[in-house]
A and B are shown apart, each in its own frame.
Chain A
């Protein structure tokens, strides 16, 4: 019978760690088994060993990306974690607008670091648009923002780029009024209007790589992805993220994620609205307080 043996699990553990930096510990054996079991049927393999051999043989170009997709692809939805959106509208946006009105003219840059099928970054575009409208802000517009969304999986990026969602996916967390205002109907699907969709740049990016060429950001989303990484890679990502966040930039991670090593690089801000992280000033910097 096919269960994932300990030996087979180790083979995949090693393979995934190499390809994506994802550390699957023993508690994730179940995840690997259930996600890859589906692939066994499609790849017509009788066992996980056989699937692994298929990967090694490089005879099926698709199978590698299918395995990565199966392990890394997680579901997502619109406006996830209410606390995050509260902080964005009550704290972050007012700060950015004030800075802009005071003369700061650089683009306000947002990065969704594990964008999956795009709901997170598009929620951000919609949230900002709604805020500007509701508060009748005319001094700045969406044109003053830049949106970058990256993911390791090219297949989810392809979906995100199209901005096209089925009726079930569209309603997960998105109010009907917002859906009607920002999307148009195409058959049974809903497509994000071009004016909003074109504002996001989607790129394939592996978080193990250097962040230097990405530029600096006013806001970084790194939610529900760090859980999969080794402690070492996580630390590496914290360091790199601290380097690309502007001094008053915000970092958001998943509501239930807790990483003690973050303390070294970030200050945790717990407000009545929600939690966000800001870069910790280095000990040798001049501080006013």
Chain B
């Protein structure tokens, strides 16, 4: 499966990519919402998105609302990975359509568990 991580931090993208690869999948990276939209428009099918909230330019919530309006991409599950931990924010993200929510800081184990949960599968 091919996944996409969107975060303006190279360190966070790397951590997420590593976790995805452990689980036997591929991960591509985008450093902004705009970058991500360009990637999505490319031919390779993306099956899961990791999304940061606070990013320069288009923020995570805006990106989320954008793809949820698109017939082509609205079915892709989105895991929000962010420092935003206020309950109002979580509720807003859930209403906008995120399937999982991870608050930073997180451990590798937490991250992997959430990915596995998202895929509805068991750990290998």
Asked if A pairs with B, the answer is yes
Which A residues are within 8 Å of any B CB, using their own CB? 1-2, 37-38, 40-41, 46, 75, 159, 166-169, 187-189
Instruction: Give B93-124 as 1s and 0s: 1 = Cβ < 8 Å from A's Cβ atoms.
Output: 00000000111001111101000000000001
In terms of DSSP, what is the predominant structure of the interface of chain B?
A: helix
B123 → chain A closest CB, angstroms? 10
Known: A38-B103, A75-B107, A187-B24. 12 other contacts (CB 8 A): A2-B86, A38-B102, A40-B87, A41-B103, A166-B18, A166-B112, A167-B18, A167-B21, A168-B15, A168-B18, A187-B124, A188-B22
Contacts of A75 in B (CB 8 A): 107
B28 → chain A closest CB, angstroms? 17
* B87 pairs with A2, CB closer than 8 A: yes
Known: A38-B110, A41-B101, A187-B124. A1 touches B22 (CB 8 A): no
Nearest CB in chain B to that of A172: its residue? B108
Interface: B85 (CB within 8 A):
yes
Which among B18, B24, B87, B110 has the highest number of chain A CB atoms within 10 Å?
B87
Interface: B88 (CB within 8 A):
yes
A170 → chain B closest CB, angstroms? 10
B122 → chain A closest CB, angstroms? 13
* A167 pairs with B87, CB closer than 8 A: no
A-B contact list, 14 entries, CB within 8 Å:
A2-B86, A2-B87, A37-B103, A38-B103, A38-B106, A41-B90, A41-B103, A46-B87, A166-B18, A166-B22, A166-B112, A169-B108, A187-B22, A188-B23
* B22 pairs with A37, CB closer than 8 A: no
* A188 pairs with B15, CB closer than 8 A: no
Number of interface residues of B (CB under 8 A): 22
User: In whole angstroms, how far apart are the Cα atoms of A263 and B21 in the complex?
Assistant: 49
Which of chain B's residues 1-60 have a Cβ closer than 8 Å to chain A?
Answer: 15, 18-19, 21-24
User: In whole angstroms, how far apart are the Cα atoms of A242 and B102 in the complex?
Assistant: 43
Contacts of A1 in B (CB 8 A): 86-88
User: In whole angstroms, how far apart are the Cα atoms of A167 and B24 in the complex?
Assistant: 12
Q: Determine which of B24, B86, B87, B101 lies in contact with A188 in the assembled complex, contact meaning CB atoms within 8 Å.
A: B24
* B21 pairs with A188, CB closer than 8 A: yes
Contacts of B103 in A (CB 8 A): 37-38, 41
Contacts of B87 in A (CB 8 A): 1-2, 40, 46
Nearest CB in chain B to that of A70: its residue? B110
Contacts of B85 in A (CB 8 A): 37
Which of chain B's residues 71-101 have a Cβ closer than 8 Å to chain A?
Answer: 85-88, 90, 101
Contacts of A41 in B (CB 8 A): 90, 101, 103
A77 → chain B closest CB, angstroms? 12
Nearest CB in chain B to that of A156: its residue? B109
Which among A40, A46, A168 has the highest number of chain B CB atoms within 10 Å?
A168
